Amino acid sequence: MLSRVADTIYWLARYMERTQAMLQVIRIYYQASQDSPHDFSWRPVLYSYGHLTPEELTATEGDTPRVLEHLILDKNNDASAFNNVLQARENARAAQDHITRDVWQCLNDYYHAIRGGDIAQQIRYGDPMSGIDALMRHGLVFTGAVQNTMPRDEGYGYLTMGRLLERALQTADILRIRWVNSSENLQNGREVPELRYLLHSVFGHELYLKTYRGNFNPDSVLQFILHNSHFAHSLSSCLNRLSWYFERLRADSLPESYERLEFMVGRLTNLVKYSMVSASEPEQLNEFLLETRQELLAIAVAFGKYYFGRS
């Protein structure tokens, strides 16, 4: 496969995974805003997915309709859901010979849905949850099309690695942002709603309830998100599967390129596997998550350099 095509498919997957994670975070934050409207701020989400100056952020953080417009529909916000879907669709257009017709059709439908009037009207003037849910269903249909129609070839490998790398980044960022906001309450030993919001934000609430029988212990939540092998969004699960798919590239890789990436992925996998962070030490956890994030970004840069020909 040409490096240009591999790069296009890899970024297609990253944009789509980022969109789904972003919409889920917005969805859960919107629910939280309805639970405690007087003490609520969108600042953490705007820092992560917004494109505002400090003055604009201060003026916007308490205005939910304006926040939703900016994060989901704003064409001038490079990180908006609209622009993520647009970029994914353009990548899919450039690689149509290497994806199935069903995958292209799903992306095309998603693009027309997010730029059309019905969902925008719901988000702006109606029930934002219904609009967000409609967009997320398009994301699920895309995921199903990839799983059920794509051949398990080199292109599928790059799609999957892009998705897993982006998912690990999103999990680390969501965990860090949520934990910073609730660390004081956690240190006081109280069960706080943020634990439930955190699990919902990473799609883990239902599995956590089944695993721990409803016991919302901060350390259990932390270990679940970091290490649970059955949880598809845990850092360990993402990195183990990323390592497995990367190993499949060995035969088609230059030895020096493969060895560099293999070392970086293995080092980070072991860093997460043997981490000893605790909910009672938020500063240590924050440092660990920042280090994990930097390692993930370094792996992404190395992919670009050694496999996609980026300088």
Question: In this structure, are residues 192 and 169 in contact, taking their beta carbons and an 8 Å threshold?
Answer: no
CA distance 83 to 73: 8
Asked whether the predicted pLDDT for residue 187 surpasses 60, the reply is no
For the chain, the domain total comes to 2
Residues in CB range of 62: below 8 A, 6 or more apart = 40, 41, 42
Is 3:307 a contact under the CB 8 Å cutoff? yes
Q: Which domain covers residue 104, as residue numbers?
A: 1-150
User: Is the pLDDT score of 78 beyond 70?
Assistant: yes
Query: Which residues, 6+ apart, have CB-to-CB distance to 32 below 8 Å?
Result: 40, 193, 197
Both 133 and 161 in one domain: the answer is no
The C-alpha torsion from 78 through 80 and 84 to 86, rounded to 10°, is -80
Cα 15 from chain centre: 9
Looking at the fold, whether 135 and 70 belong to one and the same domain comes out as yes
Cα–Cα distance, 117 to 210 (Å, whole number): 39
Mean pLDDT of the chain: 91
Rounded CA separation 228/211 (Å): 10
pLDDT in tens, 200-213: 999 999 999 999 98
Model pLDDT for residues 240-258, shown as the tens digit of each residue: 999 999 999 898 888 999 9
Alpha-carbon distance 166 to 14, whole Å?
A: 5
Are 73 and 116 part of one and the same domain? yes
Residues 157 and 305 in one domain: yes
Same domain? 19 vs 43: yes
Assess whether 178 and 302 both reside in one domain. Answer: yes
Does the pTM surpass 0.75? The reply is yes
Q: How confident is the model at residue 177 (pLDDT cuts 50, 70, 90)?
A: confident
The model's pLDDT over 11-66, given as tens digits with 9 standing for 90+, comes to 999 999 999 999 999 999 998 888 776 677 888 888 888 888 888 888 888 888 99
Residue 167 has pLDDT above 60, yes or no: yes
pLDDT tens, position by position, 144-166: 999 999 999 999 999 999 999 99
Residue for token pair 């997957």:
13
Whether residue 137 is found in the same domain as residue 168: no
Q: What local confidence, expressed as pLDDT, does residue 69 receive?
A: 93
Residues 6+ apart with CB under 8 A from 101: none
pLDDT at 61: 84
- Based on the domain organization, do 132 and 188 belong to the same domain? no
Residue spans of alpha helices (H) in the chain: 3-35, 43-49, 54-60, 64-68, 81-94, 101-115, 117-125, 128-149, 154-187, 193-201, 205-212, 218-227, 235-247, 255-273, 282-306
CA 120, CA 276: separation in Å to the nearest integer?
A: 45
| Residue 50 to residue 136: CA distance in whole angstroms | 19
Distance, in Å, from the CA atom of 198 to the CA atom of 234, rounded to the nearest integer, reads 13
**C-beta separation of 198 from 174 below 8 A:** yes
Judge if 179 and 84 occupy the same domain: no
Q: Which residues contact 136 (CB under 8 A, 6 or more apart)?
A: 20, 23, 24, 27
* 264 and 125 co-located in one domain: no
Sequence-distant (≥ 6) Cβ neighbours of residue 126 within 8 angstroms: none
Asked which of 121, 150, 179 is the last residue of a domain, the reply is 150
Virtual CA dihedral for 161, 149, 204, 222, nearest 10 degrees?
-20
Tell which of 150, 176, 208 closes a domain: 150
Cβ-count burial 176-206 (b if 16+ within 10 Å, e if not): bbbbebbbeebeeeeebebbbbbbbbbbbbe
Return the pLDDT at 194.
82
Q: Are residues 9 and 130 in the same domain?
A: yes
Last residue of a domain, one of 84, 116, 150: 150
